[in-house]
Structure formats: C-alpha cells, structure tokens
Structure 1
Amino acid sequence: MSLQENLIKNRDTFIEENKKFIYNVTFSICKKRLQWENDDELSVALIAFNNACNSYVETRGNFFSYAKVIIKNALIDYFRKNSNKYLLSFGEENDELENAFFKNSLSEYDIKQENMKRCEEIKVLSEELKKYNISFKDLVKNSPCHKDTKDKLLNVSFSCSKDYSILDYIHKHRRLPVKQICIITGCSRKLIDQWRKYILSLIVIISNESYYYITSYLNIKVGEDNEK
C-alpha cells in the first residue's frame, strides 16, 4: 500500500506505527524524557502529525521531513503561547540525535526539495524585512555572538510574539514599542535598543505561520523555567 493510501485508509495504524518518530522529534526539541500519558508536548506533537497527514501532498517532498517541520512548528507555537512556563534556547547547529534519526531517511531529492522551499521562504522574508528597513546584511552585523544573549533575545521575542498589542504596533509603525517591551519582559532599554533589528526579525518570523521551514531551521529547544 502506498504512503498516500496509508494516510487515508489506515490513519490510526500509520500514526501508531510512527509514534517513535513523533516522540523523537518532540524529544529533540524538549531535551527531556516524555510520557505519552502525562506530557502535553507529546499531545501537541501527535495532533500536529495527524494534521501533517491531512495536509501532505507529494509536491511537499518527503513526508517525514514535512511532518517534522509541522510538529516542530506546532510545538513552537505551543511554547509561544506558554512562554511564561518555558525557557527557550537555540540548539547546537549539529544536533546528534536528530541528525542520526534523519540522516538516512531523506534522499538527495528530498533534501533539495526542502532546501528549495526554505530558499523560497527566505526570499519572501527578505521582502518583508525590507518594510522594516532591515536587510540580511544588517542582521549579520547586528546579531549577538554569545549564546546566552541569543537565548535571552529569543525569549524576549517569544514574549512579544504572543502580545497582540505589540504585534499591532509593529505592523502599523514598522518598529518596536521599546518601552512596552521593557515593561513586559523586564529587560533594559539599552538591551532592546542594541539588538532592535535582531529582535524585530525574530518576531516577524515567529509570529508568521507561513515561515514553516525557516522557523524549524532556527533549531529552538525548550526547558522548564524553574525560576517561574
């Protein structure tokens, strides 16, 4: 039976057979042991996998590569909505578990397709950022080098991306409401001003569901915020 037939006729069996895949993708982001009975993250991932089954067409490339992106973005959206509970960070560029799991699952064609879709999104993002007078060259010059700073700005951006008044201000005025961001995040004005373009770009990406592959490529990881 073909993959497409499995997705339609044997959905429950197909999902059950791929629960290990769903778990591994979720674990690669959450970096903690998870239980199907207790952890919301796995429930979110399971629903996302089912949604991937619903929306998948062959032109999207390899199904599992596509499903991985859908699951990651569903989890990221979940973390965005619950950002007070979670502490987010950028993962290492080479995630050993994830690379080992997917290394042999994608053909050269699949990899090219995924890279092509990501390039298409990058072109769209480039045009959107122009509205904010930001170029990729600007981001190279105005991106923090230290991981701690990057992670802090990631959490600031997530907090902003779930605040509709901040998003409305950004879309209307094409700049950050710095004072408001300082109030809701507790960050200094100096920090926000220094990394204004970087924060603004992250907010644009995170708050736009169209940037599936770019968001997934950010390699965001999550852990419990024990200080909350």
Structure 2
Amino acid sequence: MSALQVLGDGDNQERRELEERVLTAQADESSGQREALLGEYQSYIIRIASRICKRSITLQDDEYTIALAGFNEAITQYRRSEPSSFLTFAYMVIQRRLTDYYRREQKHQNQVPLIPPDARENESVHKEVVAESFEQFRERELAEIRRSEIEQFTQALARFGIKLTDLVKASPKHRDTRENMLSIALEIAANQQWMEEFLHQKKIKKSFAEQIGCHRRTLKRHRIYLTALVLVLVEDLPLMRDYLGLPIDRKGGGIRAEGDGNGSQSAALCGADS
C-alpha cells in the first residue's frame, strides 16, 4: 500500500467537477470555461512555477507567461483516460514547458544539434513513435515527482518519530472516519497556534481538545494519522494534496512543521468518542 493510499481514497466531487469543466472548455470554446479556469487557478500557476524555478515568480516574469501557457495547453490536451488528475497533469505540462524554456536560454555555441534539420518531416512520418515517447516521458516524470514527494513526506514524518509502517497501521479503516479526520486536520493546519500545540505537545490536553471541538480520546487514538494529514497540508507536497482533493496551491497554517480560529466544523464531525 502506497503512502497516498494510506492517507485516503483520492476521489472527490470537486475533482470530478474540475475535470468536467476542462472537458467542457475543450468541447465548447464559447462556454467561457477556459478563461474562467485560467483566472481561478492563477495562484496555483504562480506557486507551481515558483516551486519548479526555486524562486518567487510574479505576474511580470517570463516564467509566469510560460507556466500560464502550459496550464492552457494542459486544458487542451487533458483526456478523461489520463491516469492522473487534471491538476497533476497540468503540473507536469508546466514543468516540461519551463524546463524547455531554460534549456533554450542556455548558450551552447558549438553544440551539435541532437535533432536533424529534417526533423519536422520525420516527425510527421513517425507520429505514433513520437506520441509513444511522449507518454513514456510523462509517466517517468510523474513517477519521479511522486518519488520525490514521498521521500520528503517520509522525512517529515520521521521528525515526529513516525514511520510509514506506523501510518499504515494507524490508518482508519472506515472512509467516513478518514474524511472526518481530514476535516479536523484542515482546521488544525489553518490555525498556527493549534498546529504547533498539536504537533509538539507530549500529551493532548483537555483544553486543546475542547478548542478543536473533538473528544480527547479521539484525537489521541488518531494522532499518528492526523499528524500525517497536517504534514501533508503544511509541507510542500502539491501532488499529495491534489490526490486528497485539497487545494494544491496552499499551505495550511502558512509554515513548515518542524519536529522536536474555532473548531466549528470539527465539533459537528467529532462525537464524544468517534
């Protein structure tokens, strides 16, 4: 079982609705969906471009223009049969376009071209080969991104003395429980004080449980699983957040969790001892 499977089912209404909007944008340019998506996901595009470029990207940078074009390309190319969600697919397209951009910017005066002058003609003859190579590249790229994020996630867990094997054992069996824990994790991660108290306190205090609106025994029982969810929210793990149906361009609490609001929604989700 993978780290993603342990954390949740990875299937939700918002993701399906987004993919339907993308398909509508492809089928009907007059629908306005393409322009709406480009506007709504501007912060996502900036964040992903910044992550790939390893520096802060603004609307005035060429990298943003290229990333925006990559997102637009992803809208055009996405297919329902894709093994990944639309946002994961868009991430890969943006990364590929920015990588190509930086390669073009490099000055190699005496480099022998890897592509022969008649490449365009050959490409039209060998479309099937080109398409297959593109798919293989995409799968390798996605696998590498996932591997990197799982490694980062494993390191984050280790700061709190948690192993992936511990997480497998601690994962709730029932989907409703996992969804409830995710809602509680979202509230904890959105409040810096709650997050630090939850992650660093040796024992869960009754006063903290009352603030969250959840029974102390419930928090104690699911502490490993909740810690893992909070780390997904505060670490730079966009693909894992996408898998869980969370906003890919945000970090709960706004800070990274280092080892050592009000709980209105969780109060409704967390019974006396769920």
Residue 156 of structure 1: CA displacement? 0.2
Q: How far has the Cα of 1:32 moved from its partner?
A: 11
Structure 1: 5+ residue runs without aligned partners?
Answer: 1-25, 58-62, 69-97
**1:102 partner amino acid:** E
| Equivalence for 1:126 | 154
The answer for the alignment partner of 2:242 in structure 1 is 216
CA drift of 1:204 comes to 1.0
Quote the Cα distance in structure 2 between the aligned partners of 1:41 and 1:162: 25
How far off its partner does 1:31 sit? 7.0
1:43-192 counterparts in 2 under 5 A? 43-49=39-45, 52=48, 67=71, 100=80, 102=82, 107-170=135-198, 173=200, 177-192=204-219
Pairwise CA RMSD of aligned residues?
Answer: 4.1
Q: Deviations over 1:53-83 (max 9, x none)?
A: 67767xxxxx79x859xxxxxxxxxxxxxxx
**For the Cα contact (< 8 Å) 1:132–1:175, is it kept in 2?**
no
Quick one: which of 232, 238, 242 aligns to 1:205? 232
Give the drift of 1:186.
1.4
1:155–1:190 distance in 2 versus 1, CA, 3 Å = same
Deviation at 1:102, TM superposition (A): 3.4
Q: Deviations over 1:118-174 (max 9, x none)?
A: 111111221221121111101111111111101000000000001111223356x36
Q: Which has the higher strand share?
A: 1
Q: CA deviation at 1:183?
A: 2.2
State how many pairs are aligned.
Answer: 159
Q: Which residue number in structure 2 is paired with residue 194 of structure 1?
A: 221
Gaps spanning 5+ residues in structure 2: where?
1-12, 22-30, 54-66, 73-77, 90-133, 248-264, 269-274
Residues 47/185 of structure 1: CA separation in 2 closer, same or farther (3 Å cut) = same
TM-score, with structure 2 as normaliser: 0.46
Q: Are the structure 2 counterparts of residues 55 and 138 from structure 1 closer, same or farther at C-alpha, using a change threshold of 3 Å?
A: closer
2:224 & 2:37 partners in 1: Cα distance? 31
Q: CA deviation at 1:192?
A: 0.8
Distance 1:117 1:67 in 2: 18
Q: Which amino acid aligns with 1:213?
A: L
Alpha carbons 2:186, 2:230 under 8 Å: kept: yes
Paired amino acid for 1:161:
A
Residue from 28, 38, 50 that aligns with 2:15:
28
How far apart are residue 217 of structure 1 and its match? 2.3
> TM-score, normalised on structure 1?
0.54
The corresponding residue for 2:111 is: none
> Structure 1 residues 52 and 184, CA, compared in 2 at 3 Å: closer, same or farther?
same
TM superposition shift of 1:191: 1.1
Distance 2:149 2:19 in 1: 31
